[in-house]
Chain A
Amino acid sequence: MTKDEALFEFLLRTGDNGLVLAQRLGEWCGHAHQLESDIALTNVALDNIGQARMALTEAGKVEGKGRSEDDLAFHRTEMEFRNNLLLEQENGDFAQTITRQFLFDVFQFELLSGLKSSSNEFLQSFAIKSLKEVTYHRSLSSDWMVRLGDGTELSHDKMQNALNLLWQYTGELFEKTEADDILIADGVIPDLEKLKESWDDIVGQVIKEATLEIPDTKGFMATGSRRGEHTEFLGYILAEMQYLPRTMPEAKW
């Protein structure tokens, strides 16, 4: 595997994470329990779309086959998507959406903090720009974790159930492939093992403050996205997202 191939894989993963999460958050538009939350979730979606566009555009350049951000977003199949399984999981109720968001925001915050000193110029600028936005996302989702976890009996149970469901998808965030090894060795991306230590630390603190408990998955963690093996949900997301450009490839606004 060449360095460019490794970088392409990482950029796809980063772009796909943003794109799939944004698609999920967009489903809340007009449906959240209060106007402020509705607006917040769609704002977070918008930031993620912006970040995904930058990452996918750069991925196309690095790949060198003339693929644009739109080609990559709309003309790949699920097996070609590299987003983490966590992000394609269903919105469920607000507790589930917020828990998914929180687990990812802490990851993304730590990843971008590491990428600020990347040896790759694009990733460095991308990280500095995106970190400003993700700081607000992380603050939003952490606040809700604590408010609902340490809330009523009902809200507490809903948050714990969400955590029990989603925890199995967190191990995969830190999985290393050949591409990661190449990029870590070159100082392009931070070491994912070190990242996991800070993630464990921060996630643990918030979960404790939220009076929730980290579920015992008995060592089981779902895996697959690094090889393009996804849960059943991604196909439905792509079917909806890709329908128009695939039906009418020349369609323009």
Chain B
Amino acid sequence: MTEEADIYELLEAVKDPEIPVLSVVDLGIVRKVDWISPKKLKITITPTYSGCPAMDTIEREISEILQSKGFEVEVVTSISEAWTTDWISEKGRKNLEEYGIAPPAEATTDKSFITGNSKNVHCPRCKSEETSLISQFGSTACKALYKCDSCHETFDYFKCI
């Protein structure tokens, strides 16, 4: 019988359509794998933001990849517990940074971010900590827009929720 870890490994192939370096597993949106029967799986996923337009694509790709391995699949969406950026894996954070998106600071230290105090956001290009918030709303629901005061490039920041 296939182990839970094997299923997660298969799901590594499903990427966030808007951030192709981040798998749905690294993003922390695959919450649960249940066996309905030896060949039938129920996968529970949760949206990052309530309006995330990528959910349909993600759901379809999860089904397709598991079906191609001979499973019957049911994908269900659950909003409880609510997704948090703390669920992004260490590998995911590293990939984000290499891709040019500053990974989220720890949510526990994040209260000041909502008000735009950016002490802990460093530039993914030159690693400078001298950065400032341009807008709390960026190119997708999950990102804010920052600029680096050292190399003067703008960059996306994966904001904490």
Contacts and interface: CB of A to CB of B under 8 A. Distances in A.
Given A133-B161, A139-B114, A40 B136 contact: yes
A39 B154 CA distance: 15
A140 B137 contact: yes
A47 B79 contact: no
Contacts of B135: 36, 39-40
Given A47-B141, A129-B82, A136 B136 contact: yes
A128 B81 CA distance: 8
Contacts of A36: 134-135, 137, 145
A132 B141 CA distance: 12
B49 A46 contact: yes
Interface stretch (B34-42, B50-58, B63-71, B97-105): B50-58
A2 B47 CA distance: 32
Given A51-B51, A125-B80, A39 B114 contact: no
A40 B141 CA distance: 9
A47 B82 contact: no
A132 B51 contact: no
B50 A50 contact: yes
A124 B82 CA distance: 11
A46 B141 contact: yes
Interface string A115-141: 000000100111011101101100110
Contact of A44 (B81, B114, B137): B137
Interface of A is mostly: helix
In this complex, which of B82, B83, B114, B134 has the most chain A Cβ atoms within 10 angstroms of its Cβ?
Answer: B82
Given A54-B50, A135-B114, A139-B114, A125 B79 contact: yes
A49 interface: yes
A253 B7 CA distance: 30
Contact of B51 (A50, A126, A140): A50
Contacts of A125: 79-82
Interface string A131-168: 01101100110000000000000000000000000000
Interface in B81-103: 81-83
What is the size category of the interface that chain B forms with chain A? 20 to 34
B115 interface: yes
A139 B136 contact: yes
Interface string B101-137: 0000000000000110000000000000000001111
A24 interface: no
B142 to A, nearest CB: 10
A52 B138 CA distance: 22
Contacts of A121: 80
Contact of B52 (A50, A124, A132, A135): A50
A48 interface: yes
B104 to A, nearest CB: 12
B139 interface: yes
Nearest to A45: B51
B50 A51 contact: yes
5 contacts: A39-B135, A46-B51, A51-B51, A128-B82, A133-B50
Given A53-B51, A132-B161, 8 more contacts: A40-B137, A43-B138, A50-B49, A50-B52, A54-B79, A125-B81, A129-B50, A129-B82
